Amino acid sequence: MSTQSLATGPRRFPLVPTAALLFGALYCLLPVAWVLVASTKSGSELFSTFTFLPGSGFTDNVADLTAYRDGVYWKWMANSAFYAGVGALLSTAVSAVSGYALAVYRFRGRETVFNILLAGVLMPPVILAVPQYLLLAKADMTDSYLSVLLPVILSPYGVYLARIYASAAVPADVIEAGRMDGGGEWRIFRTIALPMMVPGLVTVFLFQFVAVWNNFLLPYIMLGDDEKFPVTLGLYTLLQQGSNTPALYTLVITGALLAIIPLIALFLVIQRFWSLDLLSGAVKS
């Protein structure tokens, strides 16, 4: 048998890696499937039997969740959208400017700053939560929207990704050509470098949005007024009350299902954007 026939012959099915991936997908999706099914069940159906058959109480659960404390759940959802949306936008903007500066400019201490950022990436957020609370308490800013927004604006991981992507996507020759044409540094960044960095910045925005949306510890430490709670902290308070009022468990499950829908929608929209950006890049090249 010739070498050419071996190269063009049918490939063997990679059984072990595929089985491992399927097991990992099942492990991750099984809780989501259970939440999806459990949210359709009434309180009696939820606690009577454990099956993956859908129930008939989804609309009633949503109505009860909406009626709970005059719709405080949707206030929590709006708070989460505000924290995650504004926080991710500001964090992406800071990451774009900082990452571009670290990638393009040469200055004393540049590598030291980058190494400090890497240390920030490796540091668990739980270590920073208490110092951040103490600092904001000194400034009398706790129990406010800013107490949740300010700590998430600077993302070491976002700056790291922006720096790596700017180094790879923004050629030095293009920047020099812009300078020779008389463009200022800010104009070069805004009109030349920033469009080239968009795919990387979209990734930074997605990561930061998901991180802020799912954040629990920081709001738990900073906030005392439940009208300012994000949905994660709000559902936690419902779960705590469920030990005395089991009927609230159905509201927690339904609320958890509704809380992941914005993340899924955002991922689908951004995935489409990635595809369009790659196609446009291929056409331009």
Question: Which pTM does this prediction carry?
Answer: 0.84
Rounded distance, CA 76 to CA 69, Å?
A: 12
pLDDT-derived band at 117, boundaries 50, 70, 90: confident
116-136 mean pLDDT: 86
pLDDT-derived band at 5, boundaries 50, 70, 90: very low
- Tell me the range of 79-83, 128-132, 196-200, 272-276 where mean pLDDT is highest: 79-83
Please report, as a single letter, which amino acid is at residue 226: D
- Compute CA distances 19 → 25, 29, 34, 135, 238, whole Å: 10, 15, 22, 49, 38
Q: How many CB atoms lie within 10 A of CB 269?
A: 10
pLDDT score of 277 more than 60:
no
Q: Are 164 and 95 in contact (CB under 8 A)?
A: no
The pLDDT assigned to 245 comes to 74
The number of helices, as runs of H, and strands, as runs of E, in the chain is: 15, 0
The pLDDT assigned to 99 comes to 92
pLDDT-derived band at 92, boundaries 50, 70, 90: very high
- Report residue 191 as tokens: 């009109």
Nearest to 211 by CA among 268, 166, 273, 148: 148
pLDDT-derived band at 148, boundaries 50, 70, 90: very high
Rounded distance, CA 214 to CA 263, Å?
A: 10
Nearest to 224 by CA among 142, 132, 134, 133: 142
The pLDDT assigned to 13 comes to 58
pLDDT score of 83 more than 80:
yes
- pLDDT, tens only, 247-267: 788 889 899 999 999 998 898
| DSSP, res 192 | I
pLDDT score of 57 more than 50:
yes
The pLDDT assigned to 279 comes to 44
The pLDDT assigned to 79 comes to 96
pLDDT score of 172 more than 50:
yes
Q: How many CB atoms lie within 10 A of CB 284?
A: 6
pLDDT score of 9 more than 70:
no
| DSSP, res 189 | I
The pLDDT assigned to 179 comes to 87
pLDDT-derived band at 52, boundaries 50, 70, 90: confident
Rounded distance, CA 221 to CA 114, Å?
A: 29
> Mean pLDDT of all residues in the chain?
84
- pLDDT, tens only, 180-217: 888 888 898 988 889 888 888 998 999 999 999 999 99
| DSSP, res 193 | I
In the block, tokens 């991936």 appear at 21
Rounded distance, CA 103 to CA 200, Å?
A: 14
Q: CA-CA-CA-CA torsion for 263, 267, 270, 271, nearest 10 degrees?
A: -170
Q: Are 251 and 61 in contact (CB under 8 A)?
A: yes
CATH number of 60-284: 1.10.3720.10
Q: CA-CA-CA-CA torsion for 240, 242, 248, 250, nearest 10 degrees?
A: 100
The pLDDT assigned to 12 comes to 61
Q: Are 272 and 202 in contact (CB under 8 A)?
A: no
pLDDT score of 281 more than 60:
no
The pLDDT assigned to 274 comes to 62
Rounded distance, CA 154 to CA 156, Å?
A: 6
